[in-house]
Chain A
Amino acid sequence: MTDRADWPLYEIFIRARGGLDHKHVGSVHAADPTMALEHARDVYTRRQEGVSIWVVRSADIVASDPADSDALFEPARDKIYRHPTFYDIPKEVDTL
């Protein structure tokens, strides 16, 4: 493998079928977005996994800091009343 320090990383999102969301499937290295799309097609859609591809430069994704987990996610833990599990569902409703 040659040095690909100048090939940035792209995150790949694939829509499996019309109507579904694009889901993150992995990442590829590529020189630019066009090449990233082709690499994504060659690497992640070989087995009919998708009908649409999004590529996003990994560097453009703003992520939460794992160190902030306590502040961001911990407070939701004791607020179980936010889950819709305290309602009686009428018998007539089959699925909700």
Chain B
Amino acid sequence: MRGDWDMDYGFGGSDLPPPMSDVVCPFCAMTCDDLAIARDGTGQLRVSANGCARARTLFALPALPAHCFIKGRAVPLDEALDAAAALLGDAASPAIGGLAADTEGVSTALALAERLGAVVDHAASDSLFHGLRAFQVTGAMTATFGEIRNRADLFVLFGTEFERHAPRLFDRIVRPPTALFRDGGAARGFLIGPGDGPTPDGFERLTADLAHAPAIAAALSQLLAGETPRGDRVGGMAIEDLARVAAALRKARFGVVGWIAASLDPAAGDVAVEAFNHLVVTANASTRCAGLPLGGKGNALGANYVCAWQYGVPLRSRLGAGPPEHDPLRYRLKSLLAGGEVDALVWLSALNGAELPDTRTPMVVLARPGQPLPRDPEVLIPVAVPGLDHSGSIHRGDGVAALPLRRLRTTAATLPSAATVLSALLGRLPAPPLATPLRETAHV
């Protein structure tokens, strides 16, 4: 059974991959596409090669037949959709959050938001907006995974828990088995952050408090530019250590300054990213260097991209109530929910990484089976997992590659995709009035 897995797959070649190799993993922003997946007689999936621990767990979750619920009472899909449409139709200040879905799921959620006049935000947007707010102020100088894999000869990485936030980063990108312009196995660099976990070969761990990341990066920029920072320690780091990092960046042919966005100071992550960017630009005066933001789940970057191309604005915007209105502070969904400023919430969680918010706000939840629920929402509609149950696309976290998702399993009770459910919901809302009557055939 090949299903839509191999639609048009036959073009050009004799040695195509068998159907269950080169599978794209949708469960974090690394978006590895080299997984091998085995499937047993019941349709149960298992990662048989190349996945991380998270992929092994999430691919193996059973595709449960699941019911829709209204306040904990099992109902058919139509009844759940009617209840959801009624709840949303009455809302004055609706919002759509989570947005952990494939391109089509996000796109349909945004269309629904536009119809409702709703605020849109992603579950993981705090980390996303560290980078985005810095980008809006200064821009960026970056490189993608493929360029770094082949070229980077020095890594300066800020953060902790690389295995959790960027699994397989070291195996695939930092110390790849093969590289074009460097010795892949001999990567060297520095890990800057709290804690003292294991340190990969060729790397040196420098303990620092990342609340001071902006000062540390600024001191490195000064040292690169030939200036001397004041004092003998910055952010818990000795100036001599910083001087070694700066010298390494200057000597590198292609250095990388990377950071785990989730490890940065929640209140000032954007300031840190601005400082990292300034460091990268400073290094490029004489050699090559690039920034590399890391981390993210639930297609956060992809959701932001779709919003940007369809509406011209990023997430944390209000759509449909006039022109798209973006405000990274005012339309942060967590703050709106905490302030009781939302009267109906749609939560989209077809992928991992979008835990339900702890709120009493009436909620329509579209969730993958197995999503933990802190309470019974007003309406719960289970949806299929993109890349396991249906095809689609997803963006990788470094911002250039979008990858294809394919259907890997079919079960007797196949759940609808998020896009299907959201379209049905849109269809139940009253059509918007046409602004002006059309007189296109005045001369007939």
Whether A and B are associated in the same complex: the answer reads no
Residues of A within 8 A of B (CB): none
Residues of B within 8 A of A (CB): none
